[in-house]
Amino acid sequence: MKTLLIFLFLLFHTGAFAQNLANSDETEIQNLIQNSFDELFSNLDAKQLGDFYTPDFLLFEQGEIWDMAFIQNYLTRAQANPNPPTRTNRFEFIQTKVEGNRAWVGYWNYATITRDGEVIREIKWLESATAVKTNAGWRLDMLHSTRVEKP
C-alpha cells in the first residue's frame, strides 16, 4: 500500500510538472508575440529582430510576403519619420499549442495608433504564427496576418 501511495504521488507530481512546463511554454509564446510587436512595430527597434524571429522568418501580410530584409527596410523607413505616431498593441489569444520544440498560436491583434494623444486609427487583424524553440529560446519563424475591415 505504501508503495502504491508513493507511486501515485510521484505520478501526480510528474504530470503536474509536465503541465506546468507546457503552460510555461504557452506563456512564453504569447509573450513572444506581445514583445515582438511592442519592440519591433511600436518601438521600431530593428536591432531586436533576431531576438524574436528566426533568420528565415516570413510574414504573410495582407497578400504581401515580408522577409527579414523587407522588415528591416520597413523599420528603417519608419524610424526616419520626424513625427512618428504611437502604436499600442493588444492581443486576445485564441489558442496556443506547443509540441516539443514547435508551437503555433492563433490570436486577434489590435493596434491603436495615436499622435499627440489623439487616436488617428484603430486596426484589427486575425493572425496565426509558428515558432521554434532554439538554443536562445523561442523564435517566430512564420506569421500570417489578415486585416479585418470594419463593416
**Residue 18: pLDDT above 50?**
no
- Give pTM, 2 decimals: 0.83
pLDDT tens digits for range 56-82: 999 999 999 999 999 999 999 999 999
User: How high is the mean pLDDT of the chain?
Assistant: 91
pLDDT tens digits for range 89-135: 999 999 999 999 999 999 999 999 999 999 999 999 999 999 999 99
Of the candidates 62, 51, 78, 46, the one whose C-alpha atom is nearest the C-alpha of residue 143 is 62
Least trusted range by pLDDT, from 5-9, 115-119, 136-140: 5-9
What pLDDT sits at residue 23?
80
C-alpha cell at 103: 508551437
Structural domains of the chain, with CATH? 2-147 (3.10.450.50)
